[in-house]
Amino acid sequence: MSPFAHITGWGMAVPEKVLTNFELEQMVETTDEWIVSRTGIRERRIVSDDQTTASLATEASRRALEIAKINPGEIDLIIVSTSSPEYLFPATASLVQDRLGAVRAGAFDLLAACTGFIYGLNIATQAIRTGSIRTAIVIGAETLSRFVDWTDRDTCVLFGDGAGAFVLQAGEERAGLLSAVMRSDGSGGDLLYLPGGGSRYPTTIDTVNEGLHNIKMKGREVFRFATRVMAQATKEVVNKAQLSMDDIQLIIPHQANKRIIEVALKKLDFPMERCIVNLDRYGNTSTASIPIATCEAINDGRLKPGDHVVFVGFGGGLTWGAAVARWSGPFPGIKVVRPAFYSLYARLRSIINRVLRRIDAFILGRDNPYT
């Protein structure tokens, strides 16, 4: 029988700097009362100058690896879901691979906006289920504060920075992701997008002056779309897992807006007490919101082995999706892992590789490499 993809490790990383609604009142024409009543958000985390999407992703991954008790050298695949990569290329996932010292891993980025983590979980699960790989790490990481127009009150109150990671490992018992749905409707691409900096509008003085490098959003339409698809996708994915809503102990939705979550749960006739909401403290961290909320749910004892949990999200693209998992936790057994050793090893290895490449170029550089 094909193996299941157990979720055996989890970790999160959020910047220390907190930006409250009261501080936003000093920046744009808004009020704490407006933001809380329309969104549920009270504060969000913002990266410092020396933090990046890869640094948050690496920190979250190290924590997840410690819980799973595996060394980076055992990872076969790294997927970083992000809409705020460090560069257009190379992939942020490759930067994480280098920093972790995951010497055997393939690495790529995935862009499905706020739904990306669900897409990534499903892709990694399928790779494990076919037997192609045994161990993957899926990361949702964002530094959207770098792309927000801090003079636009429609968007700047919503987003925050952070990262979350899951380790997936092949296991015999029926656990991990049981079903998933992934959907997209590109006709709504302009409802939530960042036009500049890609091949359509490469960066020029004009694109900068026109503000094309900032997030644009039609909030009301996104709201309508989100409430429609969240309930729909949840029902579909639960059916697909051959379960009923009564079998679901917990829903962990994308943390965009408390009102969206409330409307979706009402449509599902599912109690709010069995849903994780932490957007009051982090805002919308896009693709990082589901793994961050999961880490907090586990720490608070709200997600336990044997529970069925639904992850459900939506976002730019438009994209949406859901997944059902049977929670199990780390594999039993005592294994010594050395994250500090590996970090040091990864740094040394990276430096040595760069130096060797230079020596190589110096010695062989005079020869024509194409002959």
Ligand X SMILES: CC(C)(COP(=O)(O)OP(=O)(O)OC[C@H]1O[C@@H](n2cnc3c(N)ncnc32)[C@H](O)[C@@H]1OP(=O)(O)O)[C@@H](O)C(=O)NCCC(=O)NCCS
Cβ distance to ligand X smaller for residue 70 or 276: 276
Token look-up 């979550």 returns 261
Contact 32, 42 (CB under 8 A): yes
Three-state SS string over 263-322 comes to: HHHHHHCCCHHHECCCHHHHCECHHHHHHHHHHHHHHCCCCCCCCEEEEEEEECCCEEEE
Token look-up 């949702």 returns 140
Provide CB contacts within 8 A for 151, sequence distance 6+.
Answer: 27, 28
Q: Does 284 bind ligand X (CB under 6 A)?
A: yes
Find the shortest distance in angstroms from Cβ 229 to ligand X: 11
Catalytic residue among 114, 156, 275, 295: 114
Q: Does 145 bind ligand X (CB under 6 A)?
A: no
Q: Does 38 bind ligand X (CB under 6 A)?
A: yes
Binding span for ligand X by CB under 6 A among 97-105, 139-147, 215-223, 263-271:
215-223
Catalytic residue among 254, 257, 278, 295: 254
Tell me the residue number closest to ligand X, measured at CB.
Answer: 219
**182-201 binders of ligand X (CB under 6 A):** 192
Contact 62, 11 (CB under 8 A): yes
Contact pick of 315, 317, 321, 329 for ligand X (by CB under 6 A): 315
Catalytic residue among 21, 214, 284, 295: 284
Size of site (CB under 6 A) for ligand X: 20
Distance CA 40, CA 257 (A): 6
Active-site residue, 156 included? no
Contact pick of 3, 219, 304, 349 for ligand X (by CB under 6 A): 219
Q: Does 114 bind ligand X (CB under 6 A)?
A: yes
Find the shortest distance in angstroms from Cβ 153 to ligand X: 4
Q: Does 288 bind ligand X (CB under 6 A)?
A: no
Cβ distance to ligand X smaller for residue 176 or 283: 283
Cβ distance to ligand X smaller for residue 153 or 183: 153
Distance CA 193, CA 189 (A): 7
Residue 189 identity: G
Q: Is 333 exposed, middle or buried (0-12, 13-18, 19+ CB in 10 A)?
A: exposed
Distance CA 268, CA 255 (A): 17
Contact 95, 65 (CB under 8 A): no
Q: Does 34 bind ligand X (CB under 6 A)?
A: yes
Find the shortest distance in angstroms from Cβ 166 to ligand X: 20
Active-site residue, 308 included? no
Query: Binding string, 220-259, against ligand X, x = CB under 6 A?
Result: x-xx--------------------------------xx--
Helices (H), ranges, the chain: 21-25, 32-39, 53-68, 92-100, 116-129, 153-156, 205-209, 219-240, 258-268, 279-282, 289-299, 339-364
Residues with a known catalytic role:
114, 254, 284
Using CB under 6 A, list all residues that contact ligand X.
30, 34-35, 38-39, 114, 153-154, 157-158, 192, 217, 219-220, 222-223, 256-257, 284, 315
